Amino acid sequence: MAKLNVTIPANEIVIEGETYRRVDRNAALGDVVKITDEEAREVGVLTFDAFYRVERVDRADDPHVLDNDGDDYDLCGWDYEVYEKVTEPEPTVPRRLTTGDYGKVVSNGVGHNYKIGSVVKIVSAQDDYVGEKADGTRGNYLNERNVVPATEVEFLAQRVSVLRLKIGDYAKVVNVSGIGGNPPRSDVNIGDIVEITGGDFFPVQFQGNVIGGDKGLWFMAERLVPATEAEVAEAKRKIAQASDPRSQFVKGDKVRLVSGGGRLPLNGYKDGEVYEVIDPGTSTNGGKYVRIIGGSVNSGYALPSEIVKLSAEEIESLDRIPVGSYVKVLVDTEDLPEGAIGKVERDDRDDRPYRVELLDGRDWDYYRKDQLEVLTQADAEKAEAQAAEAAKWYAIGRKVNEYKIGDIVRFVRDGFGNGLRDHINIITEIDKVNESSLPYHLVKPAFVTNPNNTWAAATVIELVTPVESRFDRSEPKGGVA
């Protein structure tokens, strides 16, 4: 839109009843900008000190507004202030319980059959709730006004006294406080897993062995909740890891080699590189190594202390092209042609995340990973050298290896028995050019006695001084001989 009518209190403005606050950041869609560029006093398409709404933001992060004529206008290069809309905080609304949540019954207004103070598991949340009681039975309908959120621990604490733990069951310790003012227990910790070995089985107390801890301990029922299979497995894994540190690894884990690389039994494996666990409990080499793959040798054998398991975030980053990588473009796009060599300057982690810029910086575009080929170190160095060479020629307005009559060149190597072959690195002049495979004729100094001609390819000469830069010629000469 064109300039806006606003009310301005301090750093805030009011537009059509909505308040906007000045912020120090790039403009975004829906913001309002105040034009502060002196150029606005002259050009007329925008008004100095006037406000305009941001209609869109382009790929270069420049905001666009509608100018005084109603046309789209790019604010790239303009000075402006940014104002964002001030939103009132939404009133918090208690979250409605859903299936799988837990609720504590606090009142009875509809004749339900739940005990006040009991904790239930919600098994249906359509209209009124239906809850599962601690004894495993379902109650009738429970209005949401009669229940407040509760936790799984509260629900399971109820179930322990109802379901009765039996010998061989596993329970988790949830309370270690002392009884009757006594200090907390020191022989067990919250979260410990206990295997039930006995008890009086009137749901009052149980006897059990802590996995990895003391045996024959007694527990009041309210201090325990049933342990899940995952909790039991994790407790046993920690014990196994203490006795065999290899147990922290499983087949398929991605690990980084931090030491031991390059020597037996890790020949072909380099410190700092990422490899895959193929056998965490191999018996090879005395049964103390983890077998890994991915090096230049079929298998490597690492001590647990020599490898570190990668996090999910690190594994995800392995699948991305690092910023700074040299790449070849595999598709033909608006800005860069297929086959162009460039460098990844940004990773925005969106649908086309990689911003690739030509090595000479003249253009760029965005790509998906499958539209790019990452170059090897050798290819990257070659591309850098070619780009530097191209930049030299581009600076004088020529294509690579485009020589002209009058150029001063150095003869750097022989090719096809050139008459200057006995004078490598001699500096001479191009006096003729044609369209053959040896297009450049070099002036043969009088002291050169070799009778062969001096026609040369671009690959055997180097430019010393282009004809345009020669001060000994009043006017560059050209032509094809």
pLDDT in tens, 3-36: 555 555 457 888 888 889 999 999 998 899 999 9
Distances (CA, A) of 86 to 23, 237, 274: 11, 52, 48
Residue that is written with structure tokens 């006017």 in the block: 475
Quick one: tokens of 424? 């490598």
SS (H, E, C) the chain: CCCECCECCCCEEEECCEEEEEECCCCCCCCEEEECCCCHHHHCCCCCCCEEECCEECCCCCEEEECCCCCEEECCCCCEEEEEECCCCCCCCCCCCCCCCEEEECCCCCCCCCCCCCEEEEEECCCCEEEECCCCCEEEEECHHHEEEECHHHHHHHHHHHHCCCCCCEEEECCCCCCCCCCCCCCCCCCCEEEEEEECCCCCEEEEEECCCCCCEEEEHHHEEECCHHHHHHHHHHHHHHHCHHHHCCCCCEEEECCCCCCCCCCCCCCCCEEEEEECCCCHHHCCCEEEECCCCCCEEECHHHEEECCHHHHHHHCCCCCCCEEEECCCCCCCCCCCEEEEEEECCCCCCEEEEECCCCCEEEECHHHEEECCHHHHHHHHHHHHHHHHHHHCCCCCCCCCCCCEEEECCCCCCCCCCCCCCCEEEEEEECCCCCCEEECCCCCCCCCCCCEECHHHEEEEECHHHCCCCCCCCCCCC
CA atoms within 13 A on the CB side of 114: 31
Quick one: tokens of 407? 């150029």
Asked if 155 and 104 touch (Cβ cutoff 8 Å), the reply is no
Asked if 249 and 257 touch (Cβ cutoff 8 Å), the reply is no
Q: What is the pLDDT of residue 150?
A: 92
Q: What is the dihedral of CA 180, 181, 182, 183, to 10 degrees?
A: 140
Q: What is the pLDDT of residue 238?
A: 82
Nearest to 211 by CA among 233, 191, 195, 225: 195
Q: What is the pLDDT of residue 88?
A: 67
Q: What is the pLDDT of residue 94?
A: 66
Q: What is the pLDDT of residue 205?
A: 77
Number of Cβ within 10 Å of residue 44's Cβ equals 10
Quick one: tokens of 337? 């042609």
- What is the total residue count of the chain? 481
Taking the mean position of all CA atoms in its chain, how far away is CA 56? 26
Nearest to 476 by CA among 467, 144, 3: 467
Cα–Cα distance for residue pair 366/73, rounded to 1 Å: 23
Q: What is the pLDDT of residue 164?
A: 67
What is the reported pTM?
Answer: 0.35
Cα–Cα distance for residue pair 221/172, rounded to 1 Å: 11
Cα–Cα distance for residue pair 240/212, rounded to 1 Å: 9
- Return the amino acid letter for 96: R
Nearest to 341 by CA among 323, 354, 358, 366: 358
Cα–Cα distance for residue pair 391/400, rounded to 1 Å: 9
Asked if 220 and 178 touch (Cβ cutoff 8 Å), the reply is no
Asked if 317 and 274 touch (Cβ cutoff 8 Å), the reply is no
Q: What is the pLDDT of residue 204?
A: 57
Quick one: tokens of 161? 């006294």
Quick one: tokens of 340? 């162009």
Q: What is the pLDDT of residue 203?
A: 45
β-strand pairing of 408-411 with 461-465: antiparallel
Which residues of the chain are under the pLDDT cut of 70? 1-10, 88-94, 110, 135, 159-164, 178-182, 200-204, 474-481
Number of Cβ within 10 Å of residue 457's Cβ equals 15
